[in-house]
Chain A
Amino acid sequence: AAGVIQSPRHLIKEKRETATLKCYPIPRHDTVYWYQQGPGQDPQFLISFYEKMQSDKGSIPDRFSAQQFSDYHSELNMSSLELGDSALYFCASSLGRGQYFGPGTRLTVL
């Protein structure tokens, strides 16, 4: 069965640089979510999209923005990166009850 696809899987950036993370949800899933998981932490919700419209927003810094495109893929844009942004970033998608996570993008900010 098709799963959520995320790219890249690993990303290394310098402080103050920008990063773009991509997510391709499971086909026909109508909702996409982004989560951030710091080292040794549980995942924290950032933002979600339902049918390409932003549907919910969590503790997402103003330096971050996200959107969902007409083909349902989503991108998380992160600017002015800080050391504290180093984390595992998950995209998840759902249609109904389940919420399925992608493999994550591990971002390291040096």
Chain B
Amino acid sequence: AQKITQTQPGMFVQEKEAVTLDCTYDTSDQSYGLFWYKQPSSGEMIFLIYQGSYDEQNATEGRYSLNFQKARKSANLVISASQLGDSAMYFCAMRHRNTGFQKLVFGTGTRLLVSP
């Protein structure tokens, strides 16, 4: 069965430092997509970054980058130069062709706290 694992329930980082949030996935499909979302305490789900399984380069979006290691089935999110506003819950998710390439399967999330 397809599964997303986030092993860090909580992470702490100081402002301006970089932080890596771990995500591993399990799928037998060759075609899939990996997502990261940010959920602040207000509740909305904010799309951060996407990586396709056939993308040759790691995805980057501003301060966010995705460290995609296909052989290890990992898709870690790297946030550079952390800001106080980065404090939130972060979810890794996967979409794959076995499910009609539509629905997302989420991990349990990592709560990030950025301190001054």
Contact = CB atoms under 8 A, between A and B. Distances in A.
B108 interface: yes
B103 A42 contact: no
Interface string B1-44: 00000000000000000000000000000000101010000011
Interface in B18-77: 33, 35, 37, 43-47, 50, 52
Given A99-B47, A100-B47, A101-B45, A55 B106 contact: no
Given A97-B50, A103-B44, A56 B108 contact: no
A97 B91 contact: no
A101 B105 contact: no
Interface residues of A, number: 24
Contacts, number: 53
Contact of A101 (B37, B99, B102, B107): B37
Interface string A30-65: 010101000000111100101000011010000000
A25 B89 CA distance: 24
Interface pairs A-B: 9 shortest CB-CB: A101-B45, A42-B106, A45-B103, A103-B44, A56-B102, A56-B100, A48-B102, A97-B50, A43-B106
